Amino acid sequence: MTKLRFFDCNCSIGRVGYPHLLDIPDVAGLRREMTTAGIEEALVYHATARYGHPPLGNALLLDEIQDQRGLYPVWVLLPHHTGEMARPAQLLDEMKEKGVRAVRLFPGRTQHGFSLADWCAGELLSALQSARMLLFLDIELITWEEVHALLQKYPRLPLVLANCSYRHNRFLYPLWERFANLYVEMSRFMGAGAIEDVVRRFGSHRILFGTNMPQYTGTAAVGRLVYADISRSDKEAIAAKNLDGLLGEVWS
């Protein structure tokens, strides 16, 4: 088997206050981790946009990855009501101009302090759906009821759950039975045989390759996929093509 092309949907740059182990704050550090694991391309958000302030981190991101081949920007967004970010229509124009095709939201009191409900994030979520923007949410920060409500309300908004673990199949499977716009990235989706089971039941298009580098190593997710007991075409889809396809639909 020739080497798969890996396009990682779950990477970041920037220093974090509580690193898992090493301080790997910059593009060079991320590149080193990618090279070690054999990963060619990545969607990247800035840790400062998550742990500092979204507008500041988003600006730093564009500055730090400009001219970096194979690294693509992910912005962290807020609803517009406080004026920290532009209204959704204007925000989308700016994102289109800057080549941003994926976003992350960190709702909840302990995170960015807003709600995913319509009265708070409805205008933003509607705009994201109209652009077919790829939306990443960390399942450790929201409830499964919120996920269900989001999928039901925004059926054309591609939602990628990050941080899903080997303990989540009983939540995920009923949602996959009902909703076509739900995806999982595989940085922690490591239950024994889970990839094979999901591919058999729901299809390989439901899973995106992700690592959470440089907090986690990329080598674990690579090992999981290269040895998966699925077809070569399913491996290629998970490794890169699913993400290629979803990004290709943004603005369509």
Partner 1 sequence: MMGYFDRIHAGIPLRDVEIIDLHAHLGPYFNMHIPSSEARDIVRNMDLCGIDKAVISTTMSFEADIVLGNTMMLRALDSFPGRLYGACGVNGNYPDLSLAELERTFSRPDVVMIKIHPYNSKCRLDDPRMDSIFRFAAERQLFVLVHTWLDGDPYGNQDIFAEVAQAQPQIRWIMGHSGGPYGSRHAVELAKKIPNIFLDLTLSMCPARQVEYFVSEVGSERVLFGTDNPYIDPRPQVGRVGLAQISDEDKINIFSANARRHIAFR
- Here's the x/- map for partner 1, 115-154, by CB under 8 A: it reads as ----------------------------------------
Question: CB-side exposure of 109: number of CA atoms within 13 Å?
Answer: 0
| Binding to partner 1, residues 195-234 (CB under 8 A) | 195-197, 212-224, 226-229
- Rounded to a whole number of angstroms, the minimum distance from the CB of residue 232 to partner 1 is 9
Q: Which helix (H) or strand (E) holds 174?
A: helix 169-178
37 binds partner 1 per the rule CB under 8 A: yes
56-64, 86-94, 99-107, 166-174 -> range binding partner 1 (CB under 8 A): 166-174
The reply on whether position 28 binds partner 1 by CB under 8 A is no
For partner 1, the closer of residues 39 and 105 by Cβ is 39
Q: Residue from 113, 174, 193, 248 that binds partner 1 (CB under 8 A)?
A: 193
Q: Which residues contact 124 (CB under 8 A, 6 or more apart)?
A: 77, 79, 80, 88, 91
In the list 2, 82, 110, 252, the residue contacting partner 1 (rule: CB under 8 A) is: 2
> How many C-beta atoms surround the C-beta of residue 70 within 10 A?
14
Own/partner long-range contacts of 58-62 (Cβ < 8 Å, ≥24 apart): 60/14, 61/13, 61/14, 62/98
Q: Which amino acid is at 216?
A: Y
Phi first, then psi: what are they for 43, rounded to 5°?
-85, 135
Out of 15, 152, 156, 166, name the contact with partner 1 by CB under 8 A: 166
If you ran DSSP here, which 8-state letter would residue 204 be given? G
Is residue 66 a contact residue for partner 1 (CB under 8 A)?
no
Total chain residues near partner 1 (CB under 8 A) = 46
Helix (H, G, I), strand (E, B) or coil at 8: strand
Residues that bind partner 1 (CB under 8 A): 1-4, 18, 20-22, 24, 33, 36-38, 165-170, 173, 188, 190-197, 212-224, 226-229
